[in-house]
Chain A
């Protein structure tokens, strides 16, 4: 059973990402969107948590939410894939279920 985890909250304001990364297992994928995209940016205090997670999980970030907030794809941590809305739908369809960390 592979799960797509979604995180839409800032890692600096809520513990959604922290809990998600704690419970997501090796075959899972994580999609960062809305205020969750701030976790995908290089140079932040949570970069090491993301780097650790990239060793076992696939991590994606929603491009339009990055762009809305003024960040280009070059600011994203290496290893994270940028997807558009169609990519979001594909991820949801490819996985057995979607688990949202609100």
Chain B
């Protein structure tokens, strides 16, 4: 366990599949989580498309990394946020997004869905609260 716990924000602004950013970001999030850091994952702009339900990239010959998002809770990533304005600009609602469950094995705390849709003020607040922001 590390001595100093920093607040990391992973800022995702790219759609999946068209570029490698989304996949790379997910890998880095999982690595960061393994080092017991305080992790927050933010999805905004085209990044909100990373969380859409029902992704099936067989037809374009790519690996479906969408199910990995649903395991983030198991890696003790508990704070996942989506910018509301980005969803609205794209005609999407929270119903279009995957649900990510969380369970704390020590306290037995269970949350059905940790994906939280937030307003831009809250996004700014979360950015200001972070020690480090990783951008993808």
Binds A, one of B49-57, B73-81, B110-118: B49-57
Question: A61 contacts the other chain (Cβ, under 8 Å)?
Answer: no
A9–B17 CA distance with the chains assembled, in angstroms: 11
Chain B residue nearest to A66 (CB atoms) is B59
Question: A56 contacts the other chain (Cβ, under 8 Å)?
Answer: no
Question: B1 contacts the other chain (Cβ, under 8 Å)?
Answer: no
Residue total for B at the interface (Cβ-Cβ under 8 A): 25
Majority secondary structure of chain A interface residues (helix, strand, loop or mixed):
loop
Question: B90 contacts the other chain (Cβ, under 8 Å)?
Answer: yes
Q: Taking the nearest CB of chain A, how far is it from the CB of B25, in angstroms?
A: 16
Q: Taking the nearest CB of chain A, how far is it from the CB of B1, in angstroms?
A: 38
Task: Please provide the chain B residues from 84 to 131 with a CB less than 8 Å away from any CB of chain A in the complex.
Answer: 89-92, 96
Contacts of A8 in B (CB 8 A): 18
Which residues of B approach A to under 8 Å, CB–CB? 14-19, 45-46, 49, 52-60, 62, 66, 89-92, 96
In the A-B complex, the 9 residue pairs with the smallest Cβ-Cβ separation, listed nearest first, are A43-B91, A64-B59, A35-B18, A70-B52, A68-B57, A70-B55, A70-B54, A44-B91, A45-B89
